[in-house]
Amino acid sequence: MLMLAAALGGLVAPAVARAQTERLAGRLDERTRAAVTALVDSARAAGLPADPLVNKALEGASKGADGARIAAAVRALAGDLARTRAALGRTATEAELVAGAAALRAGATPAFLERLRGDYPREPLVVPLAVMADLVARGVPADTAARSVLALVRTGMREAELVAFRQSVERDVALGAPAGAAAAVRVNAAERDFATTQAGQQPSSAPPRPRKP
Amino acid sequence: MRQRGAHRLLTLSIACAAAWAAPCAAQVEAGLDAAASLVKYDGYLSSGAAALTPSVTWQSPRTALAARGTFLVFESGNTNLQGLLTASAFSAPLGRLRVEAAAEAGASAYAGFARFAHSLGQVRVHLLGGRWGVWTGPVAGRVSRGDGAHGAWGVSAGWWARGPAGALGAAWTRVAVGDTVYSDLEGRVRWRRGVLDIEGAAGARVASRGGGTGAYGDVSAAVRLADGLALILAGGNYPSDPVRGSISGRFVTAGVRLTPRPSPRAALVRQVALSLAPGTIENPARLDRARVAIERLDGLSVLVVRVSGARRVEVKGDFTDWQPIVLAASGDGRYQYALGLPPGVLRFNLRLDGGPWGVPLGAGFATDEFGGGVGVLVVL
């Protein structure tokens, strides 16, 4: 059975690879396509996901970027994916790698990714990483955003709550709060609630959240 | 050198920053500018100068404190030492209004004998809209200089607005210091793209008794070289400032800005020009008319856009191979991408009625590598 699976895998993998790079046909000029295909092949050989790289090239083509810029963007993303995998480990999913690469691009450090993985060893990291990148995009300094996400993770926040946190910050900013302050205030509130529940009391507002044991 | 401009910028920045957006509650930002300048004060020969300008700001949602100093050494060996402290506090929102109380104190000494000091208090009423604000209010204080101490008073009014790639604003001030009375009109604009941040100002002293008249303007550019390091280039001219004791002049400056904490681009940009509307820093290509959400329908994750008054809504992204797809309208301003979305991090852009591609509310925003912005969705 294992041999059959391996044999099927050997047949399927080239087909998948072909399908991925065929998405570039007609979207890039020959020179750029060759350059991007080489980058994609080399990333795939290193065990990195190819789809995000193809998507990046297609995004560049869609936005009218020139070939050199597209190739540079794909190369940079491949580098970020590799750095993310080094920080998160080989078990990181494609979505985590993409989210981690976005976080690195936003200003996160590999050390942040490592700490996040250390604090959240078995949970998916896609949402925390995406929230970190999003906070930066909203004007929160990257180090503040990273500290905020780490603090929230330590309070046992789950994905839905992290998404709600992001929305709260977005709303606060829209209402006029400084981005960094909005994040800090929301994190402080979450930590206060966490400390309150740890002490055996209920927080004054919002129902108690599920906590890590 | 450019201290008057810096004072003006700093004062304005504290006011607008606390009203609208700036660094965070528990956050202190510090920086150090090291620059070489060529200055030409009116009535003096041009001279080279080296300057060190440390600064630190502390900001919370309603309060802001800032301190800035400058140590200048001219070719002659003479030195100029300047310091400025500003503080600002805002009331809770009163509808769309906020009231600000601000204070400023500063001092300068040139070559150990010309000394100036000032302290000002100010109250401002701000009216804030979604992407704009106006303010007005009086200012009063005391100015101390070589010929003794004088009362200072004035009034100012201003307006600012932010757009997809930057912000602009205008202010009018009328100030009386002892026998000197003057009115300035000034416009300021900032524009940012990638690692480049540019700010320009143009103004005129439109009426004056003892303060001179004429036009002035300056432009500054900050180019981020690495995290915590930026190249600063600036030049222009400025009028005299009877309150803070600077005389009119011209300058060109080149230098570097160090931000000791490993601060991201956003902090750097704020440092350069947070006076107008720092909340705009990461908001190019926002489509504020539209809001996107992921909804679960029949077990699928579906992209739904809500927008009023649009005839055609298109999306392109990772899930369409970055080919534009027209969304199906389902009434009441609701548009939907018919196919289910795969789990993961998806990037996309949206377009309304054939307009520019942008990022709607509800999505994460990221700058792309191609000179624009891209929306980010996480599908669980």
Nearest to A139 among B61, B262, B281 (CB): B281
Mean pLDDT of the A170-188 span:
77
Q: Average the pLDDT over B27-53 and give the result.
A: 84
Q: Is the pLDDT of residue B233 over 90?
A: yes
**Residue range A62-77: average pLDDT?**
94
Are A26 and A125 members of one domain? Answer: no
Domain count across chain A: 2
Cβ atoms of residues A184 and B25 within 8 Å: yes
pLDDT in the model for residue A46: 93
**CB-CB neighbors (< 8 A) of A143 in chain B:** 261-264
Supply the pLDDT for residue A197: 64
In B, which residues are within 8 Å of A107 by CB distance?
227, 264-265
Closest CA to B285 of B370, B193, B165: B165
Which of B28-42, B49-63, B221-235, B250-264 has the weakest average pLDDT?
B250-264
- Asked if A154 and A121 sit in the same domain, the reply is yes
Burial grade of A14 (CB within 10 A; 0-12, 13-18, 19 or more)? exposed
Answer whether residue A139 is part of any domain.
yes
Q: What is the CA radius of gyration of chain B?
A: 24
The mean pLDDT of B156-165, rounded to a whole number, is 79
* Of B244 and A109, more confident: A109
For residues A113 and A211, membership in a common domain is answered with yes
Inter-residue contact B47 to B72 (CB < 8 Å): no
Which of A40, A60, A88 is a domain's end point?
A88
- Does ipTM top 0.90? no
Could you say which of A24, A58, A88 is where a domain stops?
Answer: A88
Are A156 and A210 found together in one domain? yes
The answer to whether residue A28 sits within a structural domain is yes
A82 inside 8 A of chain B by CB = no
The answer on A198 and A165 residing in a single domain is yes
Q: Which two tokens stand for residue B284?
A: 């190019």
Which residues between 190 and 209 in chain A have a beta carbon less than 8 angstroms from any beta carbon of chain B? none
What number is the average pLDDT over the span A10-35? 76
Report pLDDT digits (tens) over B269-302. 232 222 222 233 334 467 878 999 888 887 788 8
A141 and A203: one domain? yes
Handedness of CA A29, A34, A37, A39 (dihedral sign): negative
Beta bridge partners of B49: B37, B74
- Residues 96-155 of chain B with CB under 8 A from chain A are 128
Report whether pLDDT(B330) > 80: yes
| Token duo for residue B292 | 């996107």
pLDDT band at A145 (very low <50, low <70, confident <90, very high): confident
In a domain? residue A34 = yes
pLDDT at A16: 61
Boundaries of domain holding A56: 12-88
User: Going from the N-terminus, what domains does chain B have, and what CATH number goes with each?
Assistant: 3-279 (2.40.160.40), 286-379 (2.60.40.10)
pLDDT per residue as tens digits for the range B84-112: 998 988 787 777 788 889 999 998 887 66
pLDDT the model gives residue A15: 62
Banded pLDDT at B131 (limits 50, 70, 90)? low
Closest CA to B164 of B133, B140, B190: B190
Q: Residue A97: inside a domain, yes or no?
A: no
* Same domain flag for A209 and A153: yes
Given pLDDT bands bounded at 50, 70 and 90, which one contains residue B350? very high
Question: Closest by alpha carbon to A32, among A2, A13, A58, A1?
Answer: A58
Q: Closest approach of chain B CAs to the CA of A3, in angstroms?
A: 30
Q: Is residue A124 part of a domain?
A: yes
Q: Is residue A64 part of a domain?
A: yes
Note the pTM of the prediction, 2 decimals.
0.50
In this predicted structure, the answer to whether residue A163 has a pLDDT above a threshold of 70 is: yes
Question: Chain B: residue nearest A170 by CA?
Answer: B362
Least confident of A202-211, B45-54, B322-331, B360-369: A202-211
Distance CA A81, CA A53 (A): 10
Is A37 contained in some domain?
A: yes
Using an 8 Å CB-CB cutoff, list chain A residues near B376. 102, 130, 133-134, 137
Q: How many residues does chain B have?
A: 380
Domain limit, last residue, from A55, A88, A121: A88
Chain A residue nearest residue B288, CA to CA: A174
Half-sphere exposure of B195 (CA within 13 A, CB side): 10
Mean pLDDT of chain A: 81
H/E element holding B345?
strand B344-352
For the cut 80, the answer to whether the pLDDT of residue B28 exceeds it is: no
Mean pLDDT on A18-37? 86
Asked if residue B52 has pLDDT above 50, the reply is yes
With an 8 Å Cβ cutoff, are A65 and B370 in contact? yes
Give the pLDDT band of residue B308 (cuts 50, 70, 90): confident
CA distance A132 to B73: 43
Amino acid at B133: G
Of B346, B194, B347, B358, nearest in space to B286 by CA: B358
Are residues A74 and A173 part of one domain?
no
C-alpha to C-alpha distance for A186 and A200, rounded to whole angstroms = 21
Question: Which of A157, A166, A170 shows the shortest CA–CA distance to A210?
Answer: A157
Q: What is the pLDDT of residue B114?
A: 61
Do both A84 and A28 map to the same domain?
yes
Are the C-beta atoms of residues A46 and A53 closer than 8 Å to each other?
no
Q: What's the confidence (pLDDT) of residue B112?
A: 60
**Mean model confidence pLDDT for chain B:** 78
| One domain for residues A124 and A211 | yes
Q: Do A147 and A82 belong to one domain? A: no
Return the pLDDT at A61: 94
For A32-36, A69-73, B122-126, B366-370, which range has the lowest pLDDT when averaged over its residues? B366-370
Question: A128 in a domain, yes or no?
Answer: yes
Give the CB-side neighbour count of residue B117, counting CA atoms within 13 A: 4
Q: Which residue from A minimizes the CA distance to B375?
A: A134
Q: Is the pLDDT of residue B144 over 60?
A: yes
Task: Quote the CA–CA distance of B239 and B86 in Å, as a whole number.
Answer: 22
Three-state SS at B284: coil
Secondary structure (3-state) at B330: coil
